Structure 1
Amino acid sequence: MNGPWVEKYRPQKLEDVVGQQHIVDLLENYVNEKSMPNLMFTGPAGVGKTTTALALVKSILGEYWHQNFLELNASDARGIETVRTKIKNFCRLKPVGAPFRIIFLDEVDNMTKDAQHALRREMEMYTRTASFILSCNYSSRIIDPIQSRCAIFRFSPIKGSEIAKRLEYITKEENYDYDIAAIDNIVYFAEGDMRKAVNILQASASAGDKITEEKVYDVVSKAKPQDIKDMITKALSGDFMGSRDLLRETMVLQGTSGEDMVTQIYQDVTKRAMEDKMDSEVYIHLIEAIAQTDFRIREGANPRIQLESLLTKFL
């Protein structure tokens, strides 16, 4: 398969980035001006923060981007020594064939507070020779002095239609047949995460020449959306025993974990409320029950007992 599809089909240009058009339009202005303030990209995993940063760097720095670019993952290099040595030494050097140098710090919310304060100092000292791009999942974990020195771009989960379009493009490039239902289910399980969607697609494709719905279920090891829908419908109609049997069948035969079941139940209930198929007061009551079940399972309670208890709230 020539390596991971996530890397093979990673967009190399800003215009190829999927699902963040409002951010791409603003970043293209920096490319045209050949100047850039310190940036902070924040948002959930797999929505294009790293891809967008790399595409921006290549567009601004041009052919000399390798010599003027430093990428660090703050999950590995999270201490103050990284800031004092690697980053400081890089910032001290003059840019080669480019207007300035760029430092990209991924997962910067994992840096210690001391390291963040040291980073703030470096951002102040080297404003003429270097710009920073910071990437994080939770901007609340970044100290205020750093946030105030950055233009903050908030990445949102990618829309299902845009994920589906990209998956169809990849399957055609790789000469795989696919069922539309398989693509729809990958989008459902990915929950706005493009990286997760492409990985599921590649894993499903490795099992044969055609990507089918069943292969997707085998890969993700989660309950079928229709089974969850049927289970909730039975519970809402008062058929507790039928709903419980579906729950047990899903967890035992399909091997779905308790945490995944809670998430899928939440998705189905929310979808019903958004489509006006469920009264708002009922929805509020059920969300509270789902939250309590999720907490208890994560704290170590027996998943099947907790989920059967949850079904009684639907009656």
Structure 2
Amino acid sequence: MTFFQPQASRKAATKAVVEEPSLQPWVEKYRPKTIDDVASQEHTVAVLRRTLTSTNLPHMLFYGPPGTGKTSTILALARQLFGPDNFRSRVLELNASDERGISIVRDKIKNFARQTPRAQTKASDGKTYPCPPYKIIILDEADSMTQDAQAALRRIMETYARITRFCLVCNYVTRIIDPLASRCSKFRFKPLDSESTASRLAHVAQEENVPVSDQVISALISTSQGDLRRSITYLQSASRLSHSTDPPVPITPADIQEIAGVVPDPVINSFATSLGVEVADDSMDVDGGVKAKNFDEVRKKVKGLMREGYSATQILTQLHDLVIEHPTLAAHKKAQCALVFAEADKALCDGADEELWILETALRVYKAAS
């Protein structure tokens, strides 16, 4: 005999699982609840705070690198405007990277935009939550929308502006067509500075009872490159790795680098030294910390790197940063190396052989640094 769980019970069980804090990704658990919680975007937060008091929201375009708080900011603003009771009926969130065609604009977006907003619930008295007389449509990853879809969106934004406001969220503002961008107030989100990122990571680690050192925080910041979402994800992965043993082992910078998929600093420093770019690093192995004497030694070094399974793009990125930021290397040598890195990056994007281009780059850096 088969027993079926009632639909209401299934929904309640599903909701309980989703909302269980211990099962939530930390990036969702610590997503800003209000716009004041958004880190390191002072200008945008200041403008939106004034908008919140006047409740006169324009069409908006949020753009900037990943993990800088674009989606979190508009969701926090919408919650502060409508409150938990009206949020679901007043806000439509779509990810344009999945729903990017013109049919979505003509059907789903247009149908939601043309509906007159429902009256606010009794819980929203207008004091705690302003609940203005319009809805918000959030188009995440809007730069993935097709040209036709963006063109169809223009008329909808104008026709239903009285009852519907749009917020386009994207990484590359140049992929948004000019007629659409001109209808929006633009807000640029910049990469988070190290101090703000460190403060937020320390807060998350403290809330989750994860002991982390300053060196681990620095490793998280350097590997995430201003992407707070990525750094929190790395921290959560490192925490799970740490607690996989009994007793838990402390998290080290090497653990963060391994999780992030970057080449360990001693390895890249040893490689750079063998090419004639001197790096002071006490942790380098004795054999690898000497400049190569000929082609065979450079090729042997490259083969060793590739056999370790490191990404060619990651090797180039880290070697580029090390060379360009080198304190004593002459400017004309850095310029020659930069051209090599650019050619190699283009070749790898076109599908060239990774080992051959790492060898080509290594030999030309070796020649430039000599």
Same fold (TM over 0.5): yes
Segments of 4+ moved more than 6 angstroms: none
Residue 9 of structure 1: aligned partner: 30
Contact 2:216 2:251 (C-alpha < 8 Å) held by counterparts: yes
Q: Is structure 2 residue 286 aligned with structure 1 residue 265?
A: no
**Counterpart of 2:241 in 1: which secondary structure?**
coil
Q: Identify the match of residue 50 of structure 2 among 18, 21, 29.
A: 29
Question: SS of the counterpart of 1:40?
Answer: strand
Q: What SS does structure 2 have at the residue aligned with 1:153?
A: strand
Instruction: Check conservation: 1:227, 1:246, Cα contact below 8 A.
Output: no
Corresponding residue number in structure 2 for 1:222: 262
2:173 maps to 1:139? yes
Residues 25-48 of structure 1: per-residue CA shift (max 9 Å, x gap): 111111111111100011121111
* 1:247 positional shift: 4.6
Matched, 1:252 2:313: no
2:100 aligned to which of 78, 91, 102: 78
Q: Which residue of 2 aligns with 1:202?
A: 236
CA shift, 1:132, in A, is: 0.5
- How far apart are 1:163 and its partner, in Å? 1.7
Equivalent residues in 2 for 1:159-198, closer than 5 Å: 159-198=193-232
The residue number in structure 1 matching 2:124 is none
Match of 1:286 in 2: 337
Structure with the greater alpha carbon radius of gyration: 2
Whether 1:44 aligns to 2:78 is no
Give the structure, 1 or 2, with the largest relative contact order (CA under 8 Å, sep 6 or more).
1
Q: Tell me the CA shift for residue 277 of structure 1.
A: 3.4
Distance in 1 (alpha carbons) for counterparts of 2:298 and 2:73: 45
Separation of aligned partners in 1, 2:200 and 2:145 = 33
Rounded Cα–Cα distance in structure 1 between residues aligned with 2:156 and 2:277: 62
SS of 1:132's equivalent in the other structure is: strand
Which ranges of structure 1 fall in alignment gaps of 5 or more residues? Answer: none
Report % sequence identity. Answer: 35
Cα distance in 2, alignment partners of residues 257 and 138 from structure 1:
25
User: SS at the partner of 1:206?
Assistant: helix
- Give the counterpart letter for 2:52 in structure 1: V
Q: Report whether the alignment pairs 1:311 with 2:362.
A: yes
Q: CA RMSD in A?
A: 2.0
Residue 237 of structure 1 and its aligned partner are, at CA, apart by 5.0
The alpha carbon displacement at 1:299 in A equals 2.4
Q: Distance in 1 between matches of 2:307 and 2:40?
A: 37
For residue 105 of structure 1, the aligned residue among 139, 157, 169 is: 139
- 2:196 and 2:266 map into 1 onto residues whose CA distance is 23
Aligned equivalents of 1:201 and 1:263: distance in 2? 22
Give 1:211 deviation, angstroms.
1.9
- Spell out the pairing of 1:85-96 with structure 2 (5 A cutoff): 85-95=107-117, 96=119
CA deviation after TM superposition for structure 1 residue 244, in Å: 5.8
Query: What is the identity, as a one-letter code, of the residue corresponding to 1:69?
Result: V
| Distance (whole Å) between structure 1 residues aligned to residue 305 and residue 194 of structure 2 | 25
Q: TM-score normalized by structure 2? A: 0.79
| CA 201–248 in structure 1, closer or farther in 2 if over 3 Å, else same | farther
Q: Secondary structure at the match of 1:103?
A: strand
Paired with 1:175 and 1:245, the residues of 2 have a C-alpha distance of: 45
Contact 1:182 1:212 in 2 (8 A): yes
1:56 aligned to which of 67, 74, 77 = 77
Farther-moved stretch of structure 1 (144-153 vs 181-190): 181-190
The amino acid across from 1:225 in the alignment is D
Task: Check whether the contact 2:254–2:264 (CA below 8 A) recurs between aligned residues.
Answer: no
- When residues 251 and 216 of structure 1 are mapped into structure 2, their CA distance, relative to the original with a 3 A threshold, is farther
The number of residues matched between the two structures is 311
**Residue deviations 1:105-131 (CA, integer Å, cap 9, x gap):** 011111111111111000010111111
Q: Is the 8 A contact 1:72 1:104 kept in 2?
A: yes
Residue of structure 2 in register with 1:297 after alignment: 348
Write the distance in 1 (CA, Å) between the matches of 2:62 and 2:259.
31
Residues 232, 314 of structure 1: 8 Å contact kept: no
Helix, strand or coil for the counterpart of 1:37? Answer: coil
Q: 1:88 to 1:297 in 2, by over 3 A?
A: closer
TM-score of the two chains, using structure 1 as the length reference? 0.92
